[in-house]
Amino acid sequence: MGAFLVRRLSINVLVFFLITIAIFALVHKTPGDPIAMQIPADQLNSGSAEFIAQKRAELGLDGSLVTQYWHWLTNALHGDLGYSLLNGRPVTEVLGERVGPTVELMGVGLLVSLLIAFPLGILAARRRNSWLDYGATVVSLGSVSVPVFFVALIVIYVFTLKFQWFPSSGISDPTNPSLLNTLHHLVLPALILGFGNSGPFMRYVRSSMITELGADYVRTANAKGAPPRRVVLRHAFRNSLIPVLTVIASNLPQLLAGAVVIEQVFAWPGMGQLAVSSVNQHDYSVIVGFALLIAILVLLSNLLADVLYTVVDPRVRLR
Amino acid sequence: MTESLLRIDGLGVDFHTDDGVVHAVTDVSLAVEAGEIVAIVGESGSGKTVTAMSVLRLLPKAAEVSADAIAFRGTDLRTLSGAELRKIRGGPVGMIFQDPMTALNPVMTIGAQVAEAVVLHQVRPDKKAAWQRAIELLRLVGVPDPGERVKQYPHEFSGGMRQRAMIAMAIANDPDLIIADEPTTALDVTIQAQVLALLKKAQAETGAATILITHDLGIVAELADRVVVMYAGRVVESAGVTELFATPRHPYTKGLLASLPRMDVDVDQLDPIPGNPPNMADPPAGCAFHPRCPLARDRCRTDRPPLLAIGAGRTSACHFNEELA
């Protein structure tokens, strides 16, 4: 198991460095003087030509591309991603305060999508070609094919404007930022995000369960006298998780993409909202930081999937 | 007449496929008495496995089973509720499957799987006792160092050891009937002998009757008391093992025996049955064996020979079984 994880980890580290090269190329190609991204805006505007030149030397911007990359990378790894072009605040700080709300939205959204996908997928697999199966197919198709923002608008119309059950804007009420109030604000965006991602999960759970329910060991479990519930949950389900985990992990970027849209619609102060506004306002240093953060997030989720494999599948532990 | 341990009457199993209805099993009747070993012999697709699976209703949902009776100790298994059937499954009737690699759950320890067979039939479930019993069962079936190996997963077991674990599950609750579906087919030849010896031992210790499904006549000769030969979903001959080997009364049986390599007679080449097993979606008219039969005459192409009693405990379905006597 150790060897397996070490190998996966080293692959991920390698990929991470390749990504940093790609992102650095992006930095290099952004319009304007790269120095503008790496010192606070007020210094840039007030500083003399000598000061700027000195800074340029300090930051390695007068060196070759390789030295420039090295400087940029070591700074980035130390948490120094430069300064926002817009307000001069450090990018790490700007991003940092946005991570929490997005992780919260994505985490609960993921939970919702799994809570929809697993029961529905398992039931659909057990009653294949029944009305329940067809119904589940329609639901999952709907979740994939109806755009998130459209669902969001309908939901806001019904639950916020008509019934006024849930708020549709912000992460909590500034005058009453209690946990309950935060959860109340979370309901609509998390449900919509979760529903939007449940479709593919459900399809994979269903097809994986169908494969496993037809396996020989399921027949063995039946022949031992195991009740259907036990056969499905103890035997087939755990085996069906192995391919499903891959799908869930590789869908996390899509979950994030969904979160970006949701954050716009619900004025959720997360990374997505920041990314969109940064793009609109040409805040390149923040965009670069965002790209790096996404890369790390995706790699971490793949690594998490690898760790979960070893938990679920004993055969992986030996290899 | 006393009730047989297991009695199957007029069993038919149909599968609806895209190519039409396949009659996998037609009008099969057989009885198994307490303690005896009955072998069901036939080529792939002859319906022997389907017959065995239908006893515990383990066939996929697509299978359409019809029968006059499938009675175990006088109880008709067809009408039992799910809960009642589950008391029989793995309790008084144990099953051993062909491929121990796929028949064991890859993500559960061997111990958990053997102990599960025990727990499911305990009146008051006791996991600790079941685990101890699992170790004891593994020791009984000859798994070395069972206290350690009980914690291992199927992929850490060799093929032969896996089949031993399967047997341990099948005998966990001291069954009266063991149904073994090609228990040695997936194993190396050297391992086959060990597993056969173990089956014999398990049978002797539990006193369980056994239905042994195989295409290997060597195994039949070694283990079986009685033999049922199947071809194209029907029983074509049944007899005591000695009589069947000495005087087969169906040309198919005769062909099977002739195709066996022999140590005691000097022959230059084997004598296989010509042709291939029939396509079950479109079986030959008349006697299903006629395209491959050396005795086939015009009558065989149109008239299907009925399965007739041809002496004490013997049946044959051949128009010309007299000629073979």
Report the residue of chain B nearest A217, measured CA to CA: B103
Domain-embedded: residue A113: yes
Lowest mean pLDDT among A110-119, A197-206, A255-264, B126-135: A255-264
Cα dihedral A145/A149/A155/A160 (nearest 10):
180
Contact flag B105-A223 (C-beta cutoff 8 Å): no
For residues A36-44, average pLDDT: 73
Tokens encoding B43: 């080529």
Of B82, B107, B153, nearest to A239 by CB-CB distance is B107
Residues of chain B in contact with residue A227, where contact means CB-CB under 8 angstroms, are: 82-83, 86
CA geometry: angle A30, A33, A38, nearest 5 deg? 90
Contact flag A217-B82 (C-beta cutoff 8 Å): no
Asked if A312 has any chain B CB less than 8 Å from its own CB, the reply is: yes
The CATH number linked to A263 is 1.10.3720.10
Residue A204 has pLDDT above 80, yes or no: yes
Question: Can you give the residue ranges of every domain in chain B?
Answer: 225-324
Question: Closest by alpha carbon to A14, among A303, A306, A317, A245?
Answer: A303
Cβ–Cβ under 8 Å, residues B104 and B152: no
Q: How many domains does chain A have?
A: 1
Our CA-based measurement puts residue B151 at a distance from the nearest CA of chain A, in whole angstroms, of: 12
- The whole-model pTM stands at 0.83
For residues A46-51, average pLDDT: 77
Output phi, psi for B38, to 5 deg.
Answer: -110, 125
Tokens encoding B101: 């690699």
Low-confidence stretches of chain B (pLDDT beneath 70): 1, 263, 265-268
- Which stretches of B35-166 are assigned E, i.e. beta strand? 37-41, 63-66, 69-72, 75-76, 93-96
Of B56, B106, B120, nearest to A315 by CB-CB distance is B106
Residue A123 has pLDDT above 90, yes or no: yes
For residues A300-311, average pLDDT: 85
Of B90, B99, B102, nearest to A224 by CB-CB distance is B90
Contact flag A313-B104 (C-beta cutoff 8 Å): no
Give the A window 167-226 contacts with B, CB below 8 Å: 214-217, 219-226
Nearby residues of A110 by Cβ (< 8 Å), 6 or more positions away: A194, A197, A248, A252, A255
Q: How many CB atoms lie within 10 A of CB B309?
A: 10
Cβ–Cβ under 8 Å, residues B22 and B198: no
Contact flag A217-B56 (C-beta cutoff 8 Å): no
Residues of chain B in contact with residue A221, where contact means CB-CB under 8 angstroms, are: 105, 116
Average pLDDT of chain B to the nearest whole number: 91
DSSP secondary structure string for all residues of A81-120: --B-TTT--BHHHHHHHHHHHHHHHHHHHHHHHHHHHHHH
Predicted pLDDT of residue B156: 93
Residues of chain B in contact with residue A126, where contact means CB-CB under 8 angstroms, are: none
CA geometry: angle A35, A38, A39, nearest 5 deg? 90
Identify the residue among A220, A232, A241 best suited for mutation to test binding to B, counting B beta carbons within 10 A and taking the highest: A220
Share of chain A above pLDDT 70, in %: 97
Contact flag A315-B88 (C-beta cutoff 8 Å): no
Tokens encoding B78: 């067809």
Of B58, B99, B105, nearest to A223 by CB-CB distance is B58
Contact flag A220-B95 (C-beta cutoff 8 Å): yes
Cα–Cα distances in angstroms (integers) from residue B107 to residues A20, A313, B151, in the given order: 38, 6, 12
Nearby residues of B32 by Cβ (< 8 Å), 6 or more positions away: B4, B5, B6, B7, B38, B177, B209, B211
Report the residue of chain A nearest B168, measured CA to CA: A224
Cα–Cα distances in angstroms (integers) from residue B63 to residues A151, A277, A289, B34, in the given order: 44, 61, 60, 29
Contact flag A239-B106 (C-beta cutoff 8 Å): yes
Identify the residue among B55, B107, B137 best suited for mutation to test binding to A, counting A beta carbons within 10 A and taking the highest: B107
Predicted pLDDT of residue A294: 86
Average pLDDT of chain A to the nearest whole number: 86
DSSP secondary structure string for all residues of A5-39: HHHHHHHHHHHHHHHHHHHHHHHHHSSS-THHHHS
Cβ–Cβ under 8 Å, residues A241 and A280: no
Our CA-based measurement puts residue B18 at a distance from the nearest CA of chain A, in whole angstroms, of: 16
Cβ–Cβ under 8 Å, residues A215 and A239: yes
Lowest mean pLDDT among A194-208, A268-282, A304-318, B209-223: A304-318
Of B89, B105, B120, nearest to A235 by CB-CB distance is B105
Our CA-based measurement puts residue B149 at a distance from the nearest CA of chain A, in whole angstroms, of: 14
Confidence of residue A318 (pLDDT cuts 50, 70, 90): low
Predicted pLDDT of residue B44: 85
Domain-embedded: residue A133: yes
Nearby residues of A97 by Cβ (< 8 Å), 6 or more positions away: none
Q: Residue B266 and residue A76: Cα distance in Å, rounded?
A: 84
Predicted pLDDT of residue B120: 95
Residues of chain B in contact with residue A127, where contact means CB-CB under 8 angstroms, are: none
Tokens encoding A82: 């430069």
Contact flag B105-A221 (C-beta cutoff 8 Å): yes
Confidence of residue A319 (pLDDT cuts 50, 70, 90): very low
- Please name the amino acid found at residue B78: R
Our CA-based measurement puts residue B114 at a distance from the nearest CA of chain A, in whole angstroms, of: 9
Identify the residue among B116, B121, B173 best suited for mutation to test binding to A, counting A beta carbons within 10 A and taking the highest: B116
Q: Residue B72 and residue B77: Cα distance in Å, rounded?
A: 7
Contact flag A217-B91 (C-beta cutoff 8 Å): no
Residues of chain B in contact with residue A226, where contact means CB-CB under 8 angstroms, are: 86, 90, 116, 120
Identify the residue among B56, B80, B105 best suited for mutation to test binding to A, counting A beta carbons within 10 A and taking the highest: B105
Predicted pLDDT of residue A1: 59
CA–centroid distance for A98 within its chain: 13
Predicted pLDDT of residue B281: 84
Predicted pLDDT of residue B15: 92
Of B87, B99, B155, nearest to A225 by CB-CB distance is B87
Asked if A227 has any chain B CB less than 8 Å from its own CB, the reply is: yes
Domain-embedded: residue A302: yes
More confident residue, B86 or A254: B86
Confidence of residue A169 (pLDDT cuts 50, 70, 90): confident
